[in-house]
Structure 1
Amino acid sequence: MPAPVLHSEVARVLGEEIVGGVLPAGHVLSLAGIEERFSRSRTVVREAVRVLESLGLVVPKRRVGVTVQPSSAWSVLSPQVIAWRLASDAREEQLRSLTQLRRAVEPAAARAAALRVAAAGFDPDRIDALLAAAARLHELGLRGEGTGEEYIEADVAFHGLLLRASGNEMFAALESTIAEVLRGRARLGRNPEWPTRRALDLHLELARAIEEGLAEEAEAAARAIAGDVLREIGGE
C-alpha cells in the first residue's frame, strides 16, 4: 500500500478523534505511541502529523510531543476538517454552524450576482449554467431522486456557480467549503428523497432573479433556501 494512503488514514482517524473531542485540547501524543497504535513507520506517522499540523489541529514540539490544539486554532473552513467533524460525534453542531454560514453568505452572493447582471458585468454563459443547474435540480427532485448522486452534484454545482457569480473572490473561496457541507449533509442522510416543491421552486426563482438582475428577489430566495435547511436541522 503506498505511503500517501497510509499517512492519510492515520491523519483521518486522529483528525476525527480531535474534532470529535475524543482527544481534547492539551492532550499530548507521542510519535512512538502513534507508531505503535497504527503499526506504521515513523515516516508515515510524521507525514500524518504534518497534515494535522497544517490544519491547526496539533502542534509538535521536540521533547514534548504532539499537542492537540483548541478549536479556535483549527482551519474550520477546510473541507478536510469539515468532513472529519461531520464524521464525528460533533456532526450535528457542525452541520448547524455551516448552514448558518450559508445563510449569512449565500444571500449576499445572490444579491451581488444580480447587481452584476444589472450592470452588465456578468458572463452570460454563467447565467445559462446557473439556470441549467436549477432546472436539473427541479427535474431530479420531482422524480424523487433527492438522495441520488446526480441530484447532490447538481446541488453542489448550483451553489458553486452562485458563489462565483457574485464576483467576490472571498465568497468564491468558500466554494469547496459549501460543497463539503452539501455532500456531508447527504452522507448523513439528511437529504429527502423527495425534496419539497418549495425548495425546488426557490432554486429556480433564485436563478431567474439573478438572470433578470433583480437583487432583492435573488437575496430573498437565497435566504429562504438556507433558512429552510436550518429549520429542518433544528438550527433556529
Structure 2
Amino acid sequence: LDRLGFKWGKELVHFSYGMVELPNGKMKSREGTVVDADDLIAAMIGDAKQTSEELGKFKDMSEEERNEIARIVGMGALKYFILKVDARKNMLFNPEESIDFNGNTGPFIQYTYARIRSILRKAQAEGIAIPAQLGENMPLNEKEIELIQKLNEFGAAVEQAGKDYSPSGIANYCYELTKAFNQFYHDYSILGADTEDEKIVRLVLAQNVGKTLKNGMALLGIEVPERM
C-alpha cells in the first residue's frame, strides 16, 4: 500500500490470527468439517438457554426476557472465550466450557454484573441513596482497599491492550476484577453491614465494580444483562 502511494500505508499493522479448532479436531473445508458461524451462534444461544434453565436463572421471567438473556449470554460466552486468548495463537474453542457460569468465562462475568445490579436495586427499594464516590474518612478494611486498587488498574489494562493490539488484556482484567469482587462478596455482607457507613462504602464499591465490568465488556462487544 505504501508503494502504491497511500500515505497511510506505513501506519497500518498486519494483525495475524491463529486457527480456531474444535474439540473434535481441526476444521477442514475439503473434508466438510467447517462450522458455519450462524449455526454456531444459534447453538450457543440454545445452550445458554438450556443451561440457564437448568441452573434456575430464569425464575419469574417472561419467555421474551428468557430469549433475550439467552441471546446475551450465548453471544457473550462465544465472544469472550475467543477474545480472552491472544488472537495470534491457535486456540481450542469448547462450546460447553464457554457457557460455564464459573471460571474464566463470559457468563461468569455477566452473572456477577447481574448480581451487583440486583443488590443495587434492593438498596434503592430500601431508600438508600448511593453516592457516586466515597467521602473522606470513610472506614475501609484491607479487602475494600484491594478492590479499589483493582478498580484503579482498569485504565492501564485498556491502554496496554491498545498498545499490544490484544483485547485479551481487557478480558482477563474483567475476570480478575470479577474474582476479586466475588471473594469480597463471599467474605462481607453488603446490605447487612454492621454500620451505615460500611454499607455505603460497600454499595459504592459494588456500583463501581458493576460500571467497570460493563465498560470493559462493552469494549469487547459483549453485553451484560440487568438480571439473571
TM-score above 0.5 = no
**Pairwise TM-score range, normalised by the shorter structure:** 0.3 to 0.5
Task: Tell which has more relative contact order, 1 or 2 (C-alpha 8 A, sep 6+).
Answer: 2
TM-score, with normalisation over the residues of structure 1? 0.32
Q: Larger % of helix: which? A: 1
TM-score, with normalisation over the residues of structure 2? 0.33
